[in-house]
Amino acid sequence: MPDKNGRFGAFGGQYVPETVMPVLMELQEAYAKYKEDPEFKAEVDGYLKEYAGRPTKLYYAERLTKHYGKAKIYLKREDLLHTGAHKINNALAQAVLAKKMGKKRIVAETGAGQHGVACATVAALFGMECCVFMGEEDIRRQSLNVFRMRLLGSKVIPVTSGTGTLKDATSEAIRYWASNINDTHYIIGSVVGPHPYPMIVRDFQAVIGEEIKAQVKANNVNLKYVVACVGGGSNAMGTFYPLKDDKAVTKIGVEAAGRSDKEGDHAKSLTLGRPGVLHGAYSYLLQTDDGQVVEAYSISAGLDYPGVGPEHSYFKDSGIVKYVAVDDKEALDAFQLLSRTEGIIPAVESSHALAYLEKLMPTTKDDEAVVVCLSGRGDKDVQMVASILGEDLK
């Protein structure tokens, strides 16, 4: 998977304008060539190790385990990577690929700014130009990340079209790419978009699951469950994919239930959506009865995307992964719980995965183990959480 048409079962494909097709073909060819190339792999692995800080720890959260009093809880510490989230895995590897393809410029979309910062970082590292498209509304909410990207030498371009959020920033990045395809590589931030992107981003994030497998084995951990949050789904895909054939491990993807099940109040693409086409792929999608895409909402800016990676749609329909959802409040509670019990402030995205432990842990046994992918750190969210909790930081 995917097949030669970029399909994961019924999902995926290449629903893009003809202008973009030749460059997708070029990318497919380049990726097929480099992915087995030992030199390419060594270069990417070198940067992941020396620059980003891989491998990340599989940390036994003893006090959190005691809190629930059931299975052992381990945290996959992607939050400890350079730039503070798993996004750097994909950004680094794609930038190396772009360099090999002779591209001079990087274009990216960003919601909360984590993927944008990761791209700005690798662009600085490799001396490439970088433009990041970001919704006007997100720019206002995430001014610190906007400054970070500018500090790193990237251009941040405000997107006012549509609703001015992540989905519109993605559309605008695709439009920009279509207009500058000869010298520009588009680093998409998740396992979404047209083929071959869902496959490429999956492969570059699969290091998370590969490491979990090796670490579990080395430490004799009786792994029964892995849990990860799902927006577009890149950290979850990276976690689940290497374990997809291991029937002894239950894989749970956690979507953002936002503030209610009303249209526009959540980001439950898999658990409440209907398959459709957005940004080049056929996948579960939040949309109206007429096929217009509906804005997603979550307290977490990294999860409020109305679509989801097509391979997740396949995993859902084939039962390989179980998808659930937790709401804003549950995520906020988990955010605070991990901070107090372990001294780790998690990203509010990752807090969604942690929040599901409330439901999962009572069903587990003492001799089992649960791994939660801690996809990012929560510094970026502290200000927002403070204001929700009624603290004035001024």
> Which positions are annotated as active-site residues?
87, 109, 375
Residues that bind other proteins (CB under 8 A): 5, 13-19, 21-23, 161-162, 167-168, 171, 174-175, 178-182, 276-280, 282, 285, 287, 289-293
Residue 29 CB, shortest distance to other proteins, in Å, is 12
Residue 251 CA to residue 229 CA, distance in Å, equals: 11
Minimum distance of other proteins from residue 273's CB (angstroms): 12
Cα angle 66-71-74, degrees, rounded to a multiple of 5: 80
CA distance 85 to 87: 5
Residue 17: cis peptide before it, omega within 30 degrees of 0: no
- Burial (0-12, 13-18, 19+ Cβ within 10 Å), 169: buried
- Exposed (0-12), middle (13-18) or buried (19+): which is 55, by Cβ within 10 Å? middle
Crossing angle of the two packed helices 328-342 and 348-355, in degrees rounded to 10: 90
Q: How far is the CB of 291 from other proteins (least distance, A)?
A: 3
Judged by CB, which is closer to other proteins: 263, or 391? 263
Cα angle 205, 211, 216 (rounded to 5 degrees) comes to 140
Which residue, 159 or 236, is less far from other proteins as judged by CB? 159
Task: Find the radius of gyration of the CA atoms of the chain.
Answer: 19
The DSSP bridge partners found for residue 54 are none
Whichever of 72 and 279 has its CB closer to other proteins, that residue is 279
To other proteins, the closest distance from the beta carbon of 126 in angstroms equals: 24
Give me the phi and psi of 278, to 5 degrees please: -140, 140
In the complex with other proteins, the residue whose CB is nearer, 233 or 276, is 276
| Helices and strands: H and E segment counts in the chain | 17, 14
Looking at the Cβ atoms of 163 and 336, the one nearer to other proteins is 163
- In terms of CB distance, is 161 or 219 closer to other proteins? 161
Pairing of strands 155-159, 129-135: parallel
Q: How far is the CB of 31 from other proteins (least distance, A)?
A: 17
> Is 209 or 231 the residue whose CB approaches other proteins more closely?
231
CA distances from 217 to 41, 210, 220, 255 (A): 24, 11, 5, 28
Strands 7-8 and 11-12: antiparallel
- Would you state the structure tokens that stand for residue 173, as one six-digit string? 């990045």
Closest approach of Cβ 322 to other proteins, in Å?
Answer: 27
Q: How far is the CB of 379 from other proteins (least distance, A)?
A: 32
